[in-house]
Structure 1
């Protein structure tokens, strides 16, 4: 049996708590994420959504008890400077994420969503 066949666990999908799914989705789409699907048990119940950009999959949930506002997700990036240059103009009205060249783990910048969750983009040393 190959190593790939022996593996049983897949990549985790962080669940981020948002109070308004439309606002959360709009913010993450600004970062280049695309909506894969959304679900409600009934029309007046909380919204649950899955978004993806490249290899990063995130779930946004309006459900009480799903996730905790203020969560930090560490995201490895191949070229953090290029991503910073791409996102910074889009975020200008909301925040101005600085690039920290001497951060532990490699050059890093952090972006916060409207609900206090943070994506910490980092280029680890090779």
Structure 2
């Protein structure tokens, strides 16, 4: 089988979290992601969950060794100004996005989650 005939799916970043309520407040309530599923090996063990929005999937993990705080994820969007307006209207108390600026891959802005992970949203040229 030729190497160019193998299809790859989009990668799914694993982001380390330390507080489920704060993670859901940020990813679900502020950014508008849906919680697709949650997994715990036992009820009192760390959470591993998937959130998604419009084809972008992220895994959130409380497990030691999954992800590193300070990870950067670049997410392409088709209307950076509409996303910025949506997020700015939420008045999230722990951070607000700066205005979109020109950058590599098109205009964009970044926002940091409560655990030090940065999401860079960009609209490709």
Query: 1:3 corresponds to which residue?
Result: none
Superposed CA offset, 1:4-35 (max 9, x none): xx434222110000011232122101201000
CA 1:73–1:37: 2 relative to 1, 3 Å: same
- Contact kept? 1:18, 1:24, Cα under 8 Å: yes
Query: 1:45 corresponds to which residue?
Result: 45
User: What do you get for the CA RMSD once the two structures are aligned?
Assistant: 1.3
Q: TM-score of the superposition, structure 1-length normalised? A: 0.88
Q: Distance in 1 between matches of 2:51 and 2:96?
A: 23
**What are the ranges of 5 or more consecutive residues in structure 2 without an aligned counterpart?**
none
Query: 2:23 corresponds to which residue?
Result: 24
Q: 1:85-100 maps to which residues of 2 (within 5 A)?
A: 85-100=85-100
Structure 1 residue runs of 4 or more that deviate by more than 3 Å after TM superposition:
none
CA 1:90–1:117: 2 relative to 1, 3 Å: same
Query: 2:65 corresponds to which residue?
Result: 65
Q: CA deviation at 1:89?
A: 1.9
Matched residue SS, 2:98: coil
Q: TM-score of the superposition, structure 2-length normalised? A: 0.89
Q: CA deviation at 1:93?
A: 2.2
Aligned residue pairs, count: 120
Matched residue SS, 1:88: helix
Q: Distance in 2 between matches of 1:19 and 1:96?
A: 21
- Contact kept? 1:72, 1:117, Cα under 8 Å: yes
**What are the ranges of 5 or more consecutive residues in structure 1 without an aligned counterpart?**
1-5
Q: CA deviation at 1:105?
A: 1.8
